[in-house]
Structures are given as structure tokens and as C-alpha cells.
Structure 1
Amino acid sequence: MSLLNVGARALLANQVALQTAGHNIANVNTPGYSRQTVVLQTVQGQFTGGGYIGQGVDVQTILRNQSELLTRQAAAAGSTQSADATRAERLRQLQEVFSGGATGLGAAINDMMNSFSDVVSSPTDLTARTVALTRIDETAARMRSASDRVNEIQYTVTEQLGSSITAINSLASQIASVNEQIARAKGNGQTPNDLLDHRDQLIRDINQYVQTTQIPADDGTVGLFVAGSQPLVLGTNATPLSVGDAQDFPGSGQLKLYFNPPGATPIEIDENMLGGGSVSGLLRFNNTDLAEGRNLLGRMALAIGTTMNYQQTLGLTLDGAAGKPLFATPASVQGSTAGSAVGTIDFTDPTKFSPTQFAASDYEVRYDAAGVGGQVVRLSDGKATAFASVGALAATQIDGLTFNFTTAGAANERVLFKPFASAAGNIQALVYSPRDLAAANPVNAAMGTANAGTLQLSQLKATGVPTPPGLVLPPNGDTATPPAFPGGIQLRFNAGPPATYDVLNRGSSPATTVATAQPYTPGAPISIDGWQITLQGTPKSGDTVNVGNALDPQYGDYYTRNAGNASALMGLRDVKMFDNATLSDGYAGAIAQVGTRTQSASFAANLSTTIAANLERDRTAVSGVNLDEEAAKLIQFQQAYQASAKMLQIAQNIFDNLIQTVGR
């Protein structure tokens, strides 16, 4: 009988081994499957006077070949890779918005600025004026198109976040369900290998969306935590996540991940605590990368629009009227807060903003614990500017912006300002009639007829600065014949050395002296009453330059043939506007900033992909199924099974012979 028992045990053990090898082969392509191995143990021998007689073999357990460390490392690396790859993919889409070439926004801006050269050459040519206005309209259209593309990217990001949250909540519920099955199965004292594989695969899947921390419990369940401490899955219970607007800045476009415990207020999760996962990458892209791209685009639109509008309003149209704005730009930007503060940034008063100082960033005004002072934080780099009160804040320009509060914030309140977010999407051309292009200077200048020096007029333009008083035109002369006074402003020179000039107001008789002995430097601008004249050459004593009001009747319609303001508009292309770069170089700088982010994100994605692939390979080396190895085991266990069957056959023959012998 003992031989029969030994053979039966061997037959069953080898049958289990064959079944396990077949199970491995069947699941060679199953994601997350861990190779299983039969662990055999010797049955305790029977003691006799002649020693212990062996009683065969039993199956101790079915071992799951896996490394807990490698499994967790592979899941974490895969989570990081998912975040980096998602962000890099979206940044490549954003980079396409800031494209170069003939169809890019930079080319449209250059064409617009260069179109003023024909107006300067022929100010009365309506065709040249029409081309300039067409270029202005095309630039505005391309800015709106670029803004629409940014909005489309943001829409797809929001949709992807929504689908990712749905997937996370579904996977969390499945993990909770598998936890329950595992806890029940563990009661029999054996490990449910396939359920554990299934749970590990679900954990790897959920880490593709949001990185989790796994903590095992004594009952065999695993708790999953996000952002370090929020229990996404705890035992057999799963808590849903959601995405919504930031609590402090509703309607601002900033998105946050929320943890939603039952019966409690949703908890906003800091995206910097999320680690990896596509949700983390999407939130970072939306709140940082996309915001910067929108700000770069909006800053360009707002700076170009406000600067050209201001210069246009300083000039005269073909009908002698003051110019009207070329572009529609935002009048003000409202701050976003969940508190009581009410604040704006005003773009209607040129004394309250300076386009050449704009920084492509959002800003937070953070009130202190007393709710009186605080600091303004530039979010692009964290630079903070302190203020003692809202009055002091309104009197201070920060990056060319002035923050005005009609209602101060409460203690520790935060107010978010996005001064450039909507500028590109709302810009449009306002002037379509070529006669309404303010190409003429509101002032004109002439050298004195008796000048003996080498003075020459280099440039004359209206600047409107300092403000106040802004542009103050020279007085008109007397229209009587002969005139009682000539009008205008006269610069009267003294050869020196050093060379100086006096400023005379000829708006009355006799002329009044406004300033005396002002230093003269050839090529250095002379600024008076909001207009600027630049002279070259060396004066003789008594040389004069007369500057008059272009609409003074004594000059007739000369202003229609003047293109001084068109020249000033064209000169804006060389003004340092963006990050201490000229207008033509500013767009290239924007391309470089987005390109640098994209390149950095692509490098990070490639690196994390390599690390994740290496760790997954290491995990697979431990847990993966090798078909050659399993085929060899099939032959091995088949032969052992056949030998066990032969053993039973021999035992049966012996037993039969014994019965026959006893029966005689």
C-alpha cells in the first residue's frame, strides 16, 4: 500500500506541475502575469526498525515569481514616464502655434511694420495706406487664429483630464473589489496568485494616470494613496477624484485635482505633490506651460496694440483729424478671487502702464495677515514685490503694470491677475479707411532761412511724453496779414563752446523765453511738450529751428504730405519691447522660450522612457514567462508523470500477486 501511496502522490504532484507549466504557457502574453512555479516537499518518512521509509512527495504551494521592489519601481517609473510623455506631446502642439516661416505670426508682424515704408515714401498714396491697413488687419487675424489654436489645445487637455479621472475612479473601484476577493481568499492560508497579478496590473494601470503609494495591510489588501496622504483606495473602499477650477481663483482657467471623501468638502490637491501620471503632466501643462504660451502671445498682442494705438493717436489723418486707435485692446483686466477683494489692471490710461516692461506672466496679489499690505508675486519666476497698502500699490508700476483695488482684500486673501490671457483672442483692427491712417506729424519743423551753420533735421515725431502733460502742440500764429506773431516754438542756438540753445514761445508778441542755455549734442533728441526733435550738425550763433502746429492755417494742407508719424510707427519695430528685445526679435524670443520648454520636456520624456523600459525589463526577467524554459519543464514533468504511472502499475502487479499468493 505504501508504494501505491507514493506513486499516487507522485502522479498528482507531477500533474499539478504539468498544469502549472501549461498555465504559464497559456498566459505568456497576458499583461501583468507573473510566472508560477510548483514548490514540492517530501512527505515525512515512516519510522521502522530499519530506518525511515520515504512516503513520496506533496505540493507545498504554487510560488508566484515576482519582486515586490521591482514591481513598485517599475510602476513608479511608468508613472513618471507617462507624465513626461504627456507634457512633451502637448508642448509640441503648443510649439506649432509659435511657428516661423512666411505663414507665421512673426512674418505677419514684420510685413505690417515694413508696410509703413511705402506710406513714408508717399503719404498721399491711398494704395500704400490701404496695404498698411490690410497688413494690420492680417496681423490681428493671425493673432486671433493663434489664440484660437491655444484654446483648442486647452479644450483637448480639459477633455483628456476628464476621461483620465473617469479611468482613475473606475480602476480604483476595481482595485477595491480585487482587494475584497484577495482578503477572502487569504483565509485558506494560500496565496491567490492570479488575483495578486490582476491587482498589480491594475495598480500599474492607475499609475499611468496618477502616481500612487502602496501600503499593504495584514488581511492581504493594499491601500493606495495619492499626493502622499489621500487614501484613494483603503481596503475595500475607493474614494473618487475630480478635476475643477482652483478654489481660490474660480473661473481663472487654473485646474486642480480634488479628493472627494464621502460627506466632506472636496480637498484640493497641490499638483506639485502628485508626482507622475498623465494627470500630473496635463495639470502642469495647463497651469504653467499653456499659461506661459498664452501670456507670450497676449503680451505681444497687447504691447503691439497699445503702443501702435498710442502713436496713431498722436498723428493726423488726411482730413486733419487726430488718429483713432488701430487695434481693439482690453480696457482692463479683472482680478480673480474667492474673497472680497475687487481689483483691476487698467489699459486705457497710458500713464498707468508701460508696454516695453511687460513680462509674460500671471500675477498674484497676496495680502498679509493684517489684510493691509502684502506682496505681488510674478508667477513665472516667483519674484515678489512688497507693498504697504493698496494706495501704495496703485502708485507703483510692477513690470509696466499698475494694480488698482477699489476694495482691499481680507487677511491672507489671494487675487490672481491674468493681464495677457485674453489680449490675443480679442484683438482686431479698427481702422479700415486709408484716409484715417494718421501718417502725419501734428508738428512740423523748418530751419531758419538765415542759418549759417550745418544744422539739419534728422527726426521729428510726437511722443506724448512726459505724461502728464502729454502732447502739447505749439501755438498757432496770427493769421492776419502781416501776422502780429508767427506762432510755434523756436530753438535759438549759441555756438559756444559748449553749444546751447534757448527755447522761445512765439505764440504771442513779443515772444516769451521758456528755457535758456540748454545743452546741445548733435544726434541727441530734444524733447519738449510731448514732441521730440533730433538735429545733426553744428550751429552758428543765431541759428534757429522753428517748430509749429501742423494745423496752423499758415501752413495750409502741408500736413497731408507729411509722413512723420508713419515714420514713428515704422520705427516701433526697433523699440525694445519684449525682454529687452526689439519687436522683430521679440517673436523670435517667444519661439525660443516655447522651443526650450519643448526640448527640455522631450529630453525628460526620453530619459524617463528609458528608465521605465529598463525597470520593466528587470521586472519581466523575474516574472516573465520563458517559453523555452516552460517547454523543457513540460518534458521533464511529463517523464516524471509517466514514471509515476509506471510505479503505480508495478505496485498494482505486486499487490495482485500478493493477493493471489495469500488466496492459495
Structure 2
Amino acid sequence: MSVNLYNTGVSGLLAAQQQLATTGNNIANVNTEGYNRQRAEQNAATGLYNGGNYIGGGTYIENVRRVYDQFSYKEQLLSQTSLSNADGLHVDLSQLNEIMTFSGGAINSSLDKFYQTINSIADNPSDLGLRSMAITQAQVLSSDFKSLNANFDQIEKSTNGEIGQIASHISQISVEISKINEQVLHAQNPRTGQPNDLLDTRDRLVNELSKYTSVNTVVDDNGVMSVMIGNGATLVAGITPLSVGVQAGDPDPNKTTLTIVGSNSTVNLNGAVVGGSLAAKYEFRDQHLAQVRSEINRLAMVISETLNEAQHDGLDLNEQEGLDFFTDINSNILERSRVLAPSKNTGNLEARVNISDVSKVPTSEFEVKYDGVNFIMKNLTDNSTVNLGAAGASHSASIAAYGFEFIEDSGTPNAGDTFIIRPTENSASLMEVKLTDGAGISASTPIEVTASDNNVGGGSVSIVQMHDPLAAQTYASTTNTSLTVDVYDNGGALEYRVYDSAIFPISNIASGSYAPGGSVLVDLPPSPATAVFQLEIKGNPTGSSALAREEFSIADSFGVGNGNNATLMGLTQEKGIINGEQETFSQSLGVSTSTVGSKAKSAELVETTAQALFTKAYNRNQSTSGVNLDEEAANLLKFQQAYQASSQIISIANTIFDTLLQAVR
């Protein structure tokens, strides 16, 4: 009896000792990240049969298990992934917002100062000092565009660097998880219990991995974990680690891509859908940064083309047609940079993109694919398609809706070849001031329309397009010495004619009619000759008969004091040109800046929500697996008392045994 009692006391003593050790371990790891509290599972030992009864044989610790709820843990992983994604996007968009606010303000200020000098030239066109200031302000404007583009380049480079660092860290985690899997494989034994600390370390690594990408895990019967990331790409296959690699993009090397690299194969990984902070980097780089870069490129393009066209419409101080103010938007280097060809193409086609109408150019990116017969262009923003027609030598496909042309320069495509088109590419980075002499600013108009003093109606004649100012000047002053337009109301229509009034009898150069309240465009000289300028006749003149017409004369207007073309140039600042002639330069820049600011604010709100959801999920998991010091303190007292009581049982068993020994002496 005393021996059994002794064994019972010893078992209780050992069990209490292990309970105290487990409780102490929990308390010691209360601040250890990723630690799951442990619990010693105590059971009664098999009873001993004696005298027709089973007498209890004491107790033992069956296993020390960690308190783990896989469902709350999975929820925490998902919340962690969402939080990291939201936080990463918010940080990057906030940085972009700061840059756009500062640099956008600088561009807007430079644009205002440039147009102030143009308007000053309109008032005093012979002032060489003002003309020199205009060149300087144009250089500042160009510099501001290039500076903003350089910031975009730096952000893109930094983002690519962060993608590389994250990929490297994911690969390190993969190796560490595989090593722990190997240790678990050798340590896991249903009869000897679980390697709790190893499992905690592995879960902590998985939790860290969930910051960078979405994670799914599968644990087999041996306790070995396989890890999948993103849409199911395997990162850890049992004890075999795979790595995440980074490679230059194709056709754009700055659009780095991801791969899953194994011992015998490499598989592409779509960075946009992997989740976590890694997906946030791809979303920021390929969507938000790319969009605002394209918008700034388009703005630089439209400003350059608008001012270049205004220059070509007038005459400079040397009575010559104005030269380009900024880089020609259809220079060879710009046209070719708008087409990117992937290395996988098997053909040798060289293509370029010519801008035909800047008011229609979108910020979208396009893919042109050759199907063996035709080029099919897809808008990568809305997935709409356009058939550009069959391939051919020097083939040119005009896409009027988008304001550009796809031109084949040399070589031939093979079926399946693709090309990426970015219509606005490099417009800001290559924006240079080409005009070096202020005297070259074409402030003077070559010709002008003057209404007769006898006109009393509401009709008007204006020059709406100038194709060749020198030829127009010659046409209005030499070819025709008294070029005249007259209009009268014949009772049902407004009839007009264009003629040289110095020649008699009158021989019409052009004539026709238009409805009251309407207008008509007249090319001069008329077809089949090449037009050098275009007139618009509109309104309701009150000329009552063929002998009482309202007259307008067109004559040479060049002069060093003529600033009319500079006035027209200045008016382009407030003219709706961009985005289908809906936005002015400042409005377009303002839309881009405010859009980035709105995205940054929205990202902040999403981050706040994600943080709240993660906190709830974390607290829910901690309520099950975390260490509660109050509970552990109570357990210390309970197991201490059990230890003391078991000690007392042993003491009593010793006393009984001693009594028996004394009885037989």
C-alpha cells in the first residue's frame, strides 16, 4: 500500500513540476513575437487491480501542446496581407502626391511666366529683351518638365529596387521554412509530442511572408508544410525551397517581372496578383505612376505642338516663317520610341508612331498584334480593338479616333508578332527649346482680314488655318494685289465670292453660299492647287443685294510692330486642346495633380480600414493563443499547491513504510 501511495505521490509531483515548467515558459515568452501559449495535457494513470478493485495509479503528462486555432490564425494572415498591401500603396501614392504637388506647381508657374512674356511681346513685338526673356522662360518650362520626368524615373527605379529586395527576402523565408520542415519531419512523433517551438518559428515565418504576398499553406500527416503564394504558385514544396527571381521586363526593361525559380524550371509569376506589399508595388508602378507619367508626357507634347504650330503660322523679325519653339513631336527619335517590340518577335519589322492630332491622343497603352494578314490593335485600358489593315511596304494606318498613325518603316512581321504602343512616350524627357534667337519668335501675322467701314451686319471673315505663311503673304500681296471677300443675302441664302478687286472685270477665285447663321470654310488658293491658308465666313451680313455687298479685304500685314500672331499664341493658354479639346494646359495639369491627391487620400482611408480589421483579427487570435499573465499567475499558484500536496503524499508514504519496518524488527 505504501509503495503504491509513494508512486502516486511521485507521479503527482512530476506532473505538477511539468505543469509549473510549462506555465513558467509561457510567462517567460509573454513578449515573444509569434509565440503560442502551451498547455500540459495531464491524464490519470491506469489503475492497479487489488482485492477486486482498481486502485488509482497516479497521473502523468501525456503531451505538451501549443494552444493554436488555425481559423483565427488564417484570418490574421489574410488581414496582414491586406494591411501590407494598403500600407504600401498609401506610402507610395503619398510620395507621388508630394512630388506632383511641388513639381506640378513649378510647371504651372513656369507656364504662366512664359505666356506673360508672349503677351508682352504681343504688346511690344520689336523689343528684343522681351523676346530673349521668352526664350529663357521656355527653357525653364522645359527644364521643369524634364525634372518631373526625372523624379518619375527615380521613383520607378526605387520601386523596382524594392521589388527586388522583397523577392530576395521571400526567397530567404522559403529556405528557412524548408529547413524547419526538415527538422519537424525528424522531430515530429505522435508518442513524443510536437516540436512546439519549431512550429511557432515556422508560423512566424509564414506570418512575415504574408506581409509581402498572399499565402496558403498545407500541412501533411508528418507535420511538413507546403507554402503557396499569389494564385497558387508553390514557394515551398515540403523540404524543397523555391526562390522568387526578378528579371528585366520585355519589351520595357524598366517593368521588371517576377519568376518562381526551381532547380529545373522557371515559371513566370504575375506580380499584380500576388497580394501584399509586393502587389502594391506593381499596382503603383504599372497603374498609378504609369498613368500620371503618360498624362505629363501628353501635356508636354501638346504644349510643344501647339506653340510650334503657332510659330509656323506667323513671321519672325526677319520676315521668315517661324521655326519650331520646342522639339518636333514627330522627330524620328520620338516616333520610334513610341513603339516597343518584344524580343520574342520572330519578324524584323521596324515601326513608328506619328502624331496627327494632339487633341485626340489618349494616355492609354496599346498592343498591336499581327495575325498573319492584318494588324489588330487593342486598347489595353478598355480592351477595345481596331483593325489596322494588312501589312505592306511603308504601310501607314491612321487611327483617327486616337490621333496617331502606326507606320511600318522597314522589315516584315511574322504571324504572332506584337508591338506595344505608347503614344506619349518620352515627350517630357526629350522636350528641348529649339529656338535660340528671340528674333525668331514669329510675332507677326503674314496677312490679315479687314472689314469695310461700310459693313453694318454681323458677318465676319477670319483666317482659321495658316499652312504656309510666306506663300500666303505672296498670294495676298503679289499673286493678288487686292484680295477681297464679299457676302450678301439673296433672300434665302448668304452668297459669297473671293476675287481680286484690282482686276476688272471680276473673276471669282472662289464662290458659293451658306445658310443664314451658319458658316463656310474656304481654302485659298482653291483645289486643285495646294491651299496655303483657310478662311471661315460666318454670321449674318446685311448686304441686301448683289450691288450692296459687305466687303472684307485680305492683305499683307507683316511688320516689326505687328504682334497679332503673338496675341494668337498667347490665347492658346486658355484654349481647350487636351482630351478632345476639353482641357486647357493648366486644367490638364490640375486634373493630374488632383487625381493623384485623391488616390493618396483614398489609399489612406483603405489603410485605416485594413489596420482596424487586422487589429481585430490579431486580438481574436491572441485571445486564444496569446499568453494571459493573470491566467498564468493563477496556474502557478494551482500547480504550486499541487506540487506541495504531492510532496505531502510522498512524506506520508515514507512514514507508513518506516512504521512497517519498525513493526518487524
Matches of 1:223 and 1:491, distance apart in 2:
85
| Structure 1 pair 243–320 and aligned structure 2 pair: CA distance change class (3 A) | same
Confirm whether residue 271 of structure 1 aligns to residue 271 of structure 2: yes
Matches of 2:279 and 2:104, distance apart in 1:
36
Partner residue in 1 for 2:340: 335
5+ long unaligned stretches in structure 1: 480-484, 551-557
| Structure 1 pair 472–216 and aligned structure 2 pair: CA distance change class (3 A) | farther
Deviations 1:548-576 (CA, angstroms, capped at 9, x unpaired): 344xxxxxxx4322222212212222332
Mapping of residues 505-524 of structure 1, within 5 Å: 512-519=507-514
Confirm whether residue 19 of structure 1 aligns to residue 21 of structure 2: yes
Deviations 1:129-178 (CA, angstroms, capped at 9, x unpaired): 33333332222111111111111111111111111111111111000000
Confirm whether residue 422 of structure 1 aligns to residue 426 of structure 2: yes
Partner residue in 1 for 2:437: 433
| SS of corresponding position for 2:450 | strand
What amino acid is the match of 2:541? T
Shifted more, 157-166 versus 414-423: the winner is 414-423
Partner residue in 1 for 2:73: 71
Mapping of residues 600-639 of structure 1, within 5 Å: 600-639=602-641
| SS of corresponding position for 2:368 | strand
How many residue pairs match? The answer is 636
Shifted more, 152-161 versus 541-550: the winner is 541-550
| SS of corresponding position for 1:95 | helix
Which of the numbers 176, 179, 190 marks the counterpart of 2:178?
Answer: 176
| Structure 1 pair 102–131 and aligned structure 2 pair: CA distance change class (3 A) | farther
What amino acid is the match of 1:291? A
Is the Cα contact below 8 Å between 2:312 and 2:324 reproduced in 1?
yes
Which of the numbers 467, 491, 499 marks the counterpart of 2:485?
Answer: 491
Deviation at 1:341, TM superposition (A): 5.5
Shifted more, 560-569 versus 289-298: the winner is 560-569
Deviation at 1:272, TM superposition (A): 4.2
Deviation at 1:109, TM superposition (A): 2.5
Which of the numbers 541, 546, 549 marks the counterpart of 2:553?
Answer: 546
Deviations 1:104-148 (CA, angstroms, capped at 9, x unpaired): 323332333344222222222333333333332222111111111
Partner residue in 1 for 2:214: 211
Which of the numbers 123, 140, 147 marks the counterpart of 2:125?
Answer: 123
Matches of 1:652 and 1:476, distance apart in 2:
132
Is the Cα contact below 8 Å between 2:211 and 2:276 reproduced in 1?
yes
Deviations 1:457-513 (CA, angstroms, capped at 9, x unpaired): 78546443xxxx99951545787xxxxx85263212224344332012579887642
Provide TM-score, normalisation by structure 2.
0.89
Is the Cα contact below 8 Å between 1:341 and 1:415 reproduced in 2?
no
Mapping of residues 30-109 of structure 1, within 5 Å: 30-99=32-101, 103-109=105-111
| SS of corresponding position for 1:500 | strand
Is the Cα contact below 8 Å between 2:481 and 2:500 reproduced in 1?
yes
Matches of 1:599 and 1:384, distance apart in 2:
34
Partner residue in 2 for 1:554: none
Partner residue in 2 for 1:362: 365
| Structure 1 pair 322–452 and aligned structure 2 pair: CA distance change class (3 A) | closer
| Structure 1 pair 257–429 and aligned structure 2 pair: CA distance change class (3 A) | same
Deviations 1:276-300 (CA, angstroms, capped at 9, x unpaired): 1211111121112111111011111
| Structure 1 pair 326–648 and aligned structure 2 pair: CA distance change class (3 A) | same
Shifted more, 182-191 versus 333-342: the winner is 333-342
Deviation at 1:52, TM superposition (A): 1.6
Partner residue in 2 for 1:250: 251
Provide TM-score, normalisation by structure 1.
0.89
Matches of 2:142 and 2:575, distance apart in 1:
20
| Structure 1 pair 50–461 and aligned structure 2 pair: CA distance change class (3 A) | same
Partner residue in 1 for 2:496: 501
Shifted more, 138-147 versus 335-344: the winner is 335-344
Partner residue in 2 for 1:191: 194
What amino acid is the match of 1:91? L
Deviation at 1:419, TM superposition (A): 2.7
Mapping of residues 103-502 of structure 1, within 5 Å: 103-187=105-189, 189=191, 190-246=193-249, 249-264=250-265, 266-274=266-274, 276-330=275-329, 331=331, 332=335, 333-338=338-343, 339=345, 340=347, 342-347=349-354, 352-368=355-371, 371-390=372-391, 394-406=397-409, 407-448=411-452, 451-453=454-456, 460=463, 462-464=465-467, 473=472, 475-476=474-475, 486-487=480-481, 489-497=483-491, 498-502=493-497
Matches of 1:170 and 1:510, distance apart in 2:
94
Q: CA RMSD in A?
A: 2.8
Deviation at 1:519, TM superposition (A): 2.8
Deviations 1:525-562 (CA, angstroms, capped at 9, x unpaired): 85534344677773532432222344xxxxxxx43222
5+ long unaligned stretches in structure 2: 524-530
| Structure 1 pair 477–415 and aligned structure 2 pair: CA distance change class (3 A) | closer
What amino acid is the match of 1:420? T
| SS of corresponding position for 1:439 | coil
